[in-house]
Amino acid sequence: MKASFIKRVFLSAILVLVVNSLVTTNLYADLKFYGIYSNMQAVEGEFSGFEFFIVPSNDGDFLIFQEAEGWPEKPLILRVQIGGKTTSDNNLVRFTHPTMGPFEGKIEGERLIGEFSAMKYKIELTKGKSIWQ
């Protein structure tokens, strides 16, 4: 009976370690997509460009969107979908802006390249610091 108890405790500990390892590996693999992507710049006091800040939450992933043309607009918080149905779609980023419409892009290394399809407006953003930092 004592050996059976020790065996169950040992197997339970191994199960916890395996599950923890799988969850942690998956979490850290997904972390590479989070962060700030920007092409925002300031020239002679005039701001132009976009900043996307992709963040995780307990209710899914979100994107803090800011656009500037002359002066920065109010940031928007939008739901974002990262990845697709197949492993070849893992780098896809999709969201819908209330006035610019659907956006679909792909993360390639340290860049997010995509298009607002309704407007046929293509953008390329680099991952790094915000212009506000």
Predicted confidence pLDDT, tens digits, the chain (133 residues): 565 655 554 544 454 444 444 444 444 445 678 999 999 999 999 999 999 999 999 999 999 999 999 999 999 999 999 987 666 678 899 999 999 999 999 999 999 999 999 999 999 999 999 999 9
What pLDDT is recorded for position 85? 63
What pLDDT is recorded for position 120? 95
What pLDDT is recorded for position 2? 62
What pLDDT is recorded for position 59? 94
**CA–CA distance, 19 with 44 (Å, rounded to integer):** 54
What does the DSSP assignment read for 77-133?
EEE-EE--SSGGGTTEEEEEETTTEEEEEEEETTEEEEEETTTTEEEEEEES--TT-
Q: Are 93 and 107 in contact (CB under 8 A)?
A: yes
H-helix or E-strand spanning residue 46: strand 46-55
